[in-house]
Structure 1
């Protein structure tokens, strides 16, 4: 009997192909929209993770335990002693590489004008393991250790009308809470993928920044990259314990996910969007509900005849449910395939949000590449079919309650 109902359901779908296509299209559009929504969220999540680990915190970050508490005061005296900590890091097999950094706010003087910038002191040889500078340098070269040279974000250089060879003077607060100035020559202009870095950052050799800020032998932080498959949180705890055991000093050692609340919010948003997606799918399913109700009223004579010939109410319910299920399967399949095709295309070309992201301080690139895994696409497909077919169950039950005598009056 089940096979007969399946064949009848297929035949009924083909009886009014326009109506079936309309119902399937509503499901397809809903499923495609959800795929694109999750692809965009997935792209944002992947992009932010890469930017955080590359430009901001590494996979694990080491700082003085009290630095965060007083961060708004720029407490450069709360630093990390490199000679003490780096030998411990070199002995840990989970650590692939590390790089010391010093972030410092500064006032930049150009003639009579003063501009606020964020300086970053780095060891460019070690930064090569984190940042692919050659691929993002638009003009010039990398600064050399021991020289008063710097890189600057392209947007900042354009705003200030600076070009290679120009010299600027920076004024900042040192680790001993005094003021000091340094003059740096612009030797490279960089196009960072993250808008805030382009708009306000300059990068100089670590040794010159240490001298400028009276931080010889120390750094504000050390960022780490660990081997693939390593549990970052567990490794952070292990490193913290190793440093405390060897030096007696308590440092703040945290994994990158624990350092950024916005990334956690994006992860949470992907869960919330499942509920939003369910709502949109249910709205799309109302087309199937309406169609099924129309079909039931149009086929009253047929329902009456089938009931008179002995078909039970639950079999009638199953028949109309199967029709809705098959439309949902085809519609959701088409929608997910279209959504994945568009995602694949946009994953290559990207979505340019440069204008929309200007002025927004977020660790997200100006060009986003949507991304969605096959397992998540399959989950969306199953989820779409389940919600859409469940919606058809509501009108399908009506068919089981129709009495044969009442239905045959339509003959």
Structure 2
């Protein structure tokens, strides 16, 4: 069957508006479309393709598991799931893991666990959840309400209750909001969709201390920041703060759908048999691929390389900005970076994205004022330099057209 971009408009629900080109093949950090045009990928499937496209070791893991077991249901366990869970607990603060299919599902599980734990330990009055403006935690009705962007949760009827928000990095506002009725605080240790905003050290430590004071669980949403993205296996490891619950997805499967919620043995006890579940969560195919991803990424050489590549990205971006001033600062950490546009180009992030696509470069936005990059963690220097040459041409096109 011959399909084109026009086919999308004929058969798909219009909640997406994809680019005019249709990718058909990828290798490493290069992608080819239906017409054979080659693109450099600085988007990484929105921080998902952590090892690029069709990494040979991931392909091998998928093929080998594909000849053994695909699906069992959680009436049974399976070896890849147990191995992956053991590697995750060995590498993090956590004792227990729950597998799902996505970041939203992992966050849904984390929020349900926090509510159930508070009910078990403190009673039904302890139910408030605090999150942060501009945060993003998924698209289920619960997670999108906890997310701090009303535009995503408005228009669907009554929202889940006992959820409050304050500004990220505003410790005084947070302290005014939290109380003994707070059961959980959910935050990204590096805000992604909200504009690539790093936490101030005193803020994140203050949040942890106030959670301890009020017996509230601290949930870190590491769906975008986790699995090597910041140069550490998980972002919390460089913040001097340990969460009670952490969620992971996106890069965890290197492109294969998987999510995980990690927590301590004590807290995990509240999800007794029957309290929560997932048909596909922990399936052998996803876990076999994710296990290989973790083996490759949780390596000193790879993680150090992320920091080295960050410096190259920043240096090349600054060179472009000297010629064509378009951003105020480069935000973020590791290979989750964002160019915050200067006042002249406010609201035009998508113009830069569209121009980049025209120059055969795939990148992202984070709101209307930030151009975002989330490439493969093992992208080559050659691909970084070629991608930046294309980005410079895109920037020139936007700046000169203004």
TM class by smaller structure: under 0.3
Question: TM-score with structure 2 length normalisation?
Answer: 0.22
Q: Which has the larger radius of gyration?
A: 1
Question: TM-score with structure 1 length normalisation?
Answer: 0.22
- Greater relative contact order (CA < 8 Å, ≥ 6 in sequence): 1
